[in-house]
Copies of this chain bind each other. A is one copy, B any other.
Amino acid sequence: MSALSHRDMDEFSLIERYFRRHQPGATDLELGIGDDAAIVRVPADRHLVVSVDTLVAGRHFQRDTAAADIGHKALAVNLSDLAAMGAAPRWWWLALSLPDADAHWLEAFSGGMFALAEQYDMALAGGDLVCGPLVVTMTVAGLVAPDQALCRRGAAAGDAIYVTGTLGAAALALRYQQAPAAPLHRPRPRVEAGRALVGLATACVDISDGLGIDLGQLLTASGVGATLDPAALPLPTTAVDVSGTQLWELAISGGDDYELCFTVPSAREQELPQRLCGIDVQLTRLGYTRRGAGLHWRTRDGACFRPSVAGYRHFG
């Protein structure tokens, strides 16, 4: 790492320097960084929603990824989970294992992280900073009204299946080293859309491992199935010479999209535009759920489309 290394700084000084900031949105943070634990106030009329995600260097991001992008992405993937629950993010905790206390790296990493957090008035409540291989774990907590959270279970047969944004852009950027790399390094969590869907969507999931796996889990949890036309997939525009079928594959199996996939009763589809009014997000209807189990892809001419892999597997 950089020559400007803070080998002489202990973790207390590093935390003071790079992670303790004035956080105007932290009014419900009773006790923040600097004690044995953090103390937060959860309103009596809210449940707490908590998500934890770990990013490992060389596995979830390339080792030469810019530190600011790592800081952004580690928080974004957690915010995407909260978005899928329809929760309003409030606090986060950072557990950072890093090989060296490099000043430039820490400055950029915390900058990327705080810049995203500030969009949601979130407060960094605490964490841990240790020496080790580069592994970033964030714990994010948010709030939702009791019994209002969007879950994977809840879709009924005949519900419409929607997805936000486009699918496959991150996989394109990763596989073809193609610009723009933003979809890969700077995913944009659909927090506003998720919150707007509370009370309307019957089930919701965020797409991290790939639509095939994640929508598949929603369907299984809900006890329904779906047969969808891959031509309905919202694909990214690309200058790469890649076939339409390859793009379908990336959209279904690529992962790292951090879009939301959700179901809405068909009788209430017309409420969607008003719900999402003012939120900058593209919506695409993939089709409808059906009785039975399984997620299948079939083109308009009746041909089956089978992606070669379902999505990202963490082991094996």
Contacts and interface: CB of A to CB of B under 8 A. Distances in A.
A8 interface: yes
A169 interface: no
B133 A39 contact: no
Nearest to A147: B30
A42 interface: yes
- From A126, A132, A206, A221, residue with most partner B Cβ within 10 Å: A132
A205 interface: yes
B149 A56 contact: no
A38 B39 CA distance: 19
A6 B54 CA distance: 21
Contacts of A9: 315-316
Interface stretch (A80-88, A264-272, A273-281, A296-304): A80-88
A315 B132 contact: no
Contacts of A313: 10-11
A47 to B, nearest CB: 5
A131 interface: yes
A95 B137 contact: yes
Contact of A131 (B49, B53, B56, B84): B56
B49 A38 contact: yes
A289 interface: no
A175 interface: no
A126 B315 contact: no
A283 to B, nearest CB: 19
5 contacts: A11-B314, A37-B85, A50-B93, A54-B128, A54-B135
Interface of A: 6-11, 14, 30-31, 34-42, 44, 47-54, 56, 58-60, 81-82, 84-85, 87, 91, 93-97, 100-101, 125-133, 135, 137, 139, 141-142, 144, 146, 149, 151-152, 204-206, 221, 313-316
